[in-house]
Structure 1
Amino acid sequence: MKLDQFLKFKCLVATGGQAKYFIQNGEVEVNGHPETRRGRQLSDGDIVTFQGQSFDVGGTDG
């Protein structure tokens, strides 16, 4: 799954445009590092952090 799709899937943003905005402004981290590519392909075990919340890709949280 791509990063922008993940944010929408987790209901952290309502639209792809919102996802793009937050990602391109460096407000989303993947594995502890800011990620500015909305098309970043995520893998099981990646940790996405957004607005103080962390989510395990492929995990059962959230």
Structure 2
Amino acid sequence: MKEFTLEAPHDYIQLNQLLKLLNLVETGGEANQCITEGLVKVNGATELQKRKKLRPGDRIDFEEQTILIKAEAQL
């Protein structure tokens, strides 16, 4: 399982941005296509919203990989 940490001041990341940022897809267009084809699950449910806001605690499943969204540790 991979972990993605949201850095302050951000409290969310969009699903399509996450897939591209983690190099799970090559382009934003490919990310959008994978999402609209139902290949991505968020918290166990198929997600069709390309810009779904992912927040700490969310779990994403895509191509046999799992990503957990975490918040940056507060000091």
Q: What's the TM-score once normalised by structure 1's chain length?
A: 0.90
Give the greater-gyration-radius structure (CA).
Answer: 2
1:27 pairs with one of 31, 39, 42: 39
The structure that is strand-richer by fraction is: 2
Q: Deviations over 1:16-36 (max 9, x none)?
A: 100011000000000000000
Q: What's the TM-score once normalised by structure 2's chain length?
A: 0.75
Distance apart, 1:9 and its partner CA: 1.2
Superposed, which structure 2 residues align to 1:1-62 within 5 Å?
Answer: 1-58=13-70
Distance apart, 1:58 and its partner CA: 2.2
The structure that is helix-richer by fraction is: 1
RMSD: 1.1
Gap runs ≥5 in structure 2? 1-12
Gap runs ≥5 in structure 1? none
Moved over 2 A (4+): none
Percent identity between the two aligned chains: 37
Paired positions, count: 59
C-alpha distance in 1 between matches for 2:43 and 2:22: 17
